[in-house]
Amino acid sequence: KAGVTQTPRYLIKTRGQQVTLSCSPISGHRSVSWYQQTPGQGLQFLFEYFSETQRNKGNFPGRFSGRQFSNSRSEMNVSTLELGDSALYLCASRLNTGELFFGEGSRLTVL
């Protein structure tokens, strides 16, 4: 089985722009979770989608949004980028036990 695929792997944006990140889960997995990882804040949960519906949500401002398509692929969007949004964004597909399968991440740098 192919693993979780995230694109793009690296990207650079400037303040005020918006960005869209993509995640394809493991085939057959219907749950996709997103995390933000920074040196200062560690691993923080953004949201989880299951069957195209947001099932769980972390404590992030409305600038962070996501969606899931019928084929379980997911996208997350960050609008009006701030310097503090620079981070590694990780996507994971999930089993019912809570076991997570992570992608390699998308490293976003905001200048």
Partner 1 sequence: AQSVTQLDSQVPVFEEAPVELRCNYSSSVSVYLFWYVQYPNQGLQLLLKYLSGSTLVKGINGFEAEFNKSQTSFHLRKPSVHISDTAEYFCAVNPDPYSSASKIIFGSGTRLSIRP
Residues that bind partner 1 (CB under 8 A): 4, 6, 31, 33, 42-43, 45, 48, 50, 55-56, 90, 92, 94, 96-105, 107
Q: Minimum Å distance from CB 83 to partner 1?
A: 21
Of 27, 18, 107, 101, residue with least CA distance to 63: 18
Q: Minimum Å distance from CB 71 to partner 1?
A: 20
Helices (H) and strands (E) in the chain, counts: 0, 11
Choice between 17 and 52, CB closer to partner 1? 52
Q: Minimum Å distance from CB 6 to partner 1?
A: 8
Choice between 70 and 99, CB closer to partner 1? 99
Choice between 79 and 88, CB closer to partner 1? 88
- Amino acid found at 72: S
Please identify which residue in the block is written with the tokens 């590694």: 88
Residue 47's Cβ-side half-sphere holds a number of Cα atoms within 13 Å equal to 21
Choice between 66 and 105, CB closer to partner 1? 105
Rounded to an integer, what distance in angstroms lies between the CA atom of residue 64 and that of residue 42? 17
